[in-house]
A and B are shown apart, each in its own frame.
Chain A
Amino acid sequence: MQADPKGVLTGAHFLDGDQAACEGALAAGCRFVAGYPITPSTEVVERFAARIPLVGGVFIQMEDEIASSIAIQGAVWAGQKAMTVTSGPGLSLMMEHVGFAAMTETLCVFVDVQRAGPSTGLPTLPGQGDMMQVKWGSHGDYEPIALVPSSPQECFDLMIRAFNLAETFRAPVFFMMDEVVGHMTERVVIPGASAIEVAERRLTRKKPGEYRPFEANGDLVPDMVRSGEGYRIHVTGLTHDERGYRAMTAAAHGRLVERLSNKVRANRDRLVDVREDGVDGADVVVVSYGITSRVAARAVAEARERGVRAGHLRLVIAWPFPARRVREIAARAKAFVVPELNLGQMALEVERAAGGRAVVVPVPHAGGTVHEPAAILEKILEAKG
């Protein structure tokens, strides 16, 4: 389906990443945002609050992030596309509702503009320390999808993809920005509405009585309905059967939780998105994402100037992790260098995927600013051996 032109601000603009992310959400058809102010994410909701009266929809500033992260799920069951926007401390508060979204297959987008943590940390300065939290932060097993834009243009483009993926998989989708990407201003080109493909809600064609809300299709994803249309659905965070009724057995639990995970696991190859630069034939491959990838690109260029066969693999989607691709590369390259604004999170995934076939050298940084390219270069030179 083409985007609704009401939400599409066609043209070339100078926008920061937060504003571009908001425009991406509007273009994607998001008409409900619930949020609570927190630096460095607030500009996203401020823009939404300013734009929505002229587009048609609702912004509500809730009393906290716990409320925001469940209000959007109510809106989704009424048929809307919805998101909430936060940063580390708020994301921590939302975790129970990430699990609720996963368990009830309530498709919604959680935007996290990362700042340096833990706790209040450095509110106005960048971090990338929430990468593992979105993967493991809610109790129990679930498979999130997480996109990691590295520029304002990508904040726009990938936000549309985030909403489309949410509609497709009915899984929690995280939009993992960082303070620098959120606050840097660059040229953002927004195409015409007719050039923007947006996913529609997959509504059932069955009649009330025939429809079983948690009965999956061939792709493991059940069709949805909207509250108020006579289906008399029941939605619960308890383990449930295809009817949505609580089912308190280990067997029912296994069936449900495995299907929820398999929705994403079985589609890993379809979901994975990496951008490669000179990876084939490289001795050292830098794996990076978000703002760090822009610093890393410089380090890779400098390494090449010094004669190192260096490649760059940028994650556009961090979860699911491109394990198969990393494994392939590990069979030929000597080493991976993984700079991140945390003390080594995605580096663990690279290590797991490499499985000992190539050395993995993290370039940890607690956040607060970005890496010096020289710090990454140094590790590349070391790793080349």
Chain B
Amino acid sequence: MSEASETSDVNHASDVNDASEELEIDLPEEIDVDNPVWPYLRKDRIPHIWCPGCGIGTTVNCFARALTDSEIDLDRVAIVSGIGCTGRVAGYLNLDSFHTTHGRAIPFATGLKLANPRLKVVVYSGDGDLFAIGGNHFVHAARRNMDLLVICVNNFTYGMTGGQMGPTTPVGAVQSTMPYGNFETPFNLPFLADACGAVYVARWTVYNVRQLGRAMKEGLEKRGFVFIEALAPCPTLYSRRNKLGDGVDQLKYYKANSVVKNGADTKEVGLSFQGEISVGKFVDRERPTWLEAMDAHYAQVFAGEYVPHGGLHGED
């Protein structure tokens, strides 16, 4: 049990929670909830493990709205998560869902997508999962323009394990493994994604629910490697520990400091501790996906002899 979880005053979703008994609550047959996400949930898995004020749930709301708005056939959507508080998203959504290993959602999703190109494969995971342990997979999937929608919930911390420093923790923020404040330079995620070749790159905060939902919808409709960074509060292990208040205070910070800069040079959109937040759609371009490139190349090399694979279900 980490010190953080011992001292935190709310039940948060650290590994400690994993070991506890599943909380049994009786949900009424018919629930009158006016919530866009409700139809998309595995209702028998509610309540979720997320802390009060956690921003992950808000991103899921946005994602649900994007699914509705895109009118995509839900049977053809698969969601793949790594490990972390965000990694739990896969378990709550009533889609084909895969909760893989820490950092490896992208390569799992790569295999899934290539073996059945008709699937829309969404990777939904945390900043530590996607950019520390999984960073190399992100870099290469973007380079290949693998046809994946990658949604990163960036809460500046390792939530699940109790608030350690991660690759997006701003300089100066206190984390359990940076007890005197972080001195490592964090990633500028949109810049990284852009440099690696992503065809669509956006950042929004969970204050910008409409824009975040719209970006997710565009991401579902776009072919190629799409990256969406969603800034979300982790009150339990990030904001409170840094004396920044709880989830609502973080939303106020997002509101006051977000500046919409569509099309901005991604080099300029790095984040700092409680500094300005550039949000917007930074990149939207076209490039053949890995599969398209393979098909086009082999069709040329082998002419009529090429056997396009198209997965088990034929290309659409």
Interface residues, chain A, with chain B CB atoms under 8 Å away: 6, 31-32, 34, 52-58, 60, 62-64, 66-68, 70-80, 82, 96-97, 100, 226-238, 243, 245-249
Kindly list chain B residues whose C-beta atoms are within 8 Å of the C-beta of A34: 107, 110-111
Q: Among B18, B75, B140, point to the contact of A238 (Cβ < 8 A).
A: B18
Contact code string B263-302 (vs A, CB < 8 Å = 1, else 0):
0000000000000000000000000001000100010011
Q: Is the CB of B119 within 8 A of A228?
A: yes
- Known A32-B111, A54-B302, A80-B115; contact A228-B101, beta-carbon cutoff 8 A: no
Interface residues, chain B, with chain A CB atoms under 8 Å away: 18-22, 42, 44-45, 75-76, 78, 80, 90-91, 94-101, 104, 106-116, 118-119, 136-137, 139-140, 290, 294, 298, 301-302, 305-309, 311-313
Cα distance A55–B307 in the bound complex, in angstroms = 6
- Known A31-B309, A56-B309, A248-B19; contact A232-B96, beta-carbon cutoff 8 A: yes
Q: Is the CB of A71 within 8 A of B110?
A: yes
Cα distance A77–B99 in the bound complex, in angstroms = 13
Q: Among A74, A97, A229, point to the contact of B110 (Cβ < 8 A).
A: A74
Cα distance A227–B117 in the bound complex, in angstroms = 11
Cα distance A76–B137 in the bound complex, in angstroms = 19
Q: Is the CB of B111 within 8 A of A6?
A: no
- By Cβ-Cβ distance, the 10 closest A-B pairs, closest first, are A74-B111, A78-B115, A74-B112, A56-B307, A71-B111, A67-B107, A75-B115, A78-B116, A236-B99, A75-B111
Q: Is the CB of B91 within 8 A of A229?
A: no
- Known A80-B312, A97-B104, A232-B96; contact A74-B115, beta-carbon cutoff 8 A: yes
Cα distance A234–B78 in the bound complex, in angstroms = 10
Q: Is the CB of A66 within 8 A of B104?
A: yes
Q: Is the CB of A227 within 8 A of B119?
A: yes
Q: Is the CB of A64 within 8 A of B136?
A: yes
Q: Is the CB of A78 within 8 A of B312?
A: yes
Starting from the known contacts A56-B308, A246-B18, 7 additional A-B residue pairs (CB-CB under 8 Å) come to A53-B298, A54-B305, A56-B307, A70-B100, A78-B116, A232-B94, A238-B18
Q: Is the CB of A233 within 8 A of B301?
A: no
Q: Is the CB of B99 within 8 A of A74?
A: no
- Known A56-B307, A227-B119; contact A75-B112, beta-carbon cutoff 8 A: yes
Kindly list chain B residues whose C-beta atoms are within 8 Å of the C-beta of A232: 42, 75, 94-97
Cα distance A100–B82 in the bound complex, in angstroms = 12
Cα distance A247–B21 in the bound complex, in angstroms = 8
Q: Among A32, A64, A100, A228, point to the contact of B75 (Cβ < 8 A).
A: A228
Tell me the minimal C-beta distance from B32 to chain A in angstroms: 24
Kindly list chain B residues whose C-beta atoms are within 8 Å of the C-beta of A78: 111-113, 115-116, 119, 311-312
- Known A228-B96, A234-B97; contact A79-B305, beta-carbon cutoff 8 A: no
Cα distance A79–B111 in the bound complex, in angstroms = 11
Tell me the minimal C-beta distance from B119 to chain A in angstroms: 5
Cα distance A226–B98 in the bound complex, in angstroms = 12
Q: Is the CB of A71 within 8 A of B107?
A: yes
Tell me the minimal C-beta distance from B78 to chain A in angstroms: 5
B83's closest neighbor in chain A, by CB?
A237
Q: Is the CB of B45 within 8 A of A226?
A: no
- Known A75-B112, A82-B115, A247-B22; contact A70-B104, beta-carbon cutoff 8 A: yes
Kindly list chain B residues whose C-beta atoms are within 8 Å of the C-beta of A236: 90-91, 98-99
Cα distance A238–B88 in the bound complex, in angstroms = 11
Kindly list chain A residues whose C-beta atoms are within 8 Å of the C-beta of B21: 248-249
Q: Is the CB of A63 within 8 A of B115?
A: no
Cα distance A245–B91 in the bound complex, in angstroms = 8
Kindly list chain B residues whose C-beta atoms are within 8 Å of the C-beta of A229: 75
Q: Is the CB of A58 within 8 A of B101?
A: no
Kindly list chain A residues whose C-beta atoms are within 8 Å of the C-beta of B307: 6, 53-56
Q: Among A79, A248, A249, point to the contact of B312 (Cβ < 8 A).
A: A79
Kindly list chain B residues whose C-beta atoms are within 8 Å of the C-beta of A32: 111, 114-115
Q: Is the CB of B100 within 8 A of A237?
A: yes
Kindly list chain A residues whose C-beta atoms are within 8 Å of the C-beta of B108: 70-71, 73-74
Q: Is the CB of A57 within 8 A of B98?
A: no
Cα distance A63–B142 in the bound complex, in angstroms = 12
Q: Is the CB of A53 within 8 A of B114?
A: no
Which of A31, A68, A82, A246 gathers the greatest number of chain B CB atoms within 10 Å?
A246
Cα distance A100–B112 in the bound complex, in angstroms = 15
Tell me the minimal C-beta distance from B60 to chain A in angstroms: 15
- Known A53-B301, A248-B21; contact A74-B306, beta-carbon cutoff 8 A: no
Cα distance A100–B22 in the bound complex, in angstroms = 22
B99's closest neighbor in chain A, by CB?
A236
Cα distance A232–B94 in the bound complex, in angstroms = 6
Kindly list chain B residues whose C-beta atoms are within 8 Å of the C-beta of A74: 80, 98, 107-115
- Known A82-B111, A235-B97; contact A53-B306, beta-carbon cutoff 8 A: yes
Cα distance A64–B107 in the bound complex, in angstroms = 10
Cα distance A24–B20 in the bound complex, in angstroms = 47
Kindly list chain B residues whose C-beta atoms are within 8 Å of the C-beta of A58: 114-115, 294, 309
Cα distance A313–B148 in the bound complex, in angstroms = 50
Tell me the minimal C-beta distance from B293 to chain A in angstroms: 12
Kindly list chain A residues whose C-beta atoms are within 8 Å of the C-beta of B294: 58
Kindly list chain B residues whose C-beta atoms are within 8 Å of the C-beta of A235: 97-99
Q: Is the CB of B78 within 8 A of A228?
A: yes
- Known A53-B298, A77-B112, A248-B19; contact A230-B75, beta-carbon cutoff 8 A: yes
A252's closest neighbor in chain B, by CB?
B22
Q: Is the CB of A73 within 8 A of B111?
A: yes
Cα distance A74–B96 in the bound complex, in angstroms = 12
Kindly list chain A residues whose C-beta atoms are within 8 Å of the C-beta of B99: 234-238
Kindly list chain B residues whose C-beta atoms are within 8 Å of the C-beta of A79: 115-116, 311-312
A57's closest neighbor in chain B, by CB?
B309
Tell me the minimal C-beta distance from B292 to chain A in angstroms: 13
Tell me the minimal C-beta distance from A225 to chain B in angstroms: 9
Kindly list chain B residues whose C-beta atoms are within 8 Å of the C-beta of A226: 116, 312
Kindly list chain B residues whose C-beta atoms are within 8 Å of the C-beta of A247: 22
Tell me the minimal C-beta distance from B204 to chain A in angstroms: 28
Kindly list chain B residues whose C-beta atoms are within 8 Å of the C-beta of A96: 101
Tell me the minimal C-beta distance from B126 to chain A in angstroms: 16
Cα distance A239–B106 in the bound complex, in angstroms = 22
Kindly list chain A residues whose C-beta atoms are within 8 Å of the C-beta of B90: 234, 236
A201's closest neighbor in chain B, by CB?
B312
Cα distance A52–B309 in the bound complex, in angstroms = 9
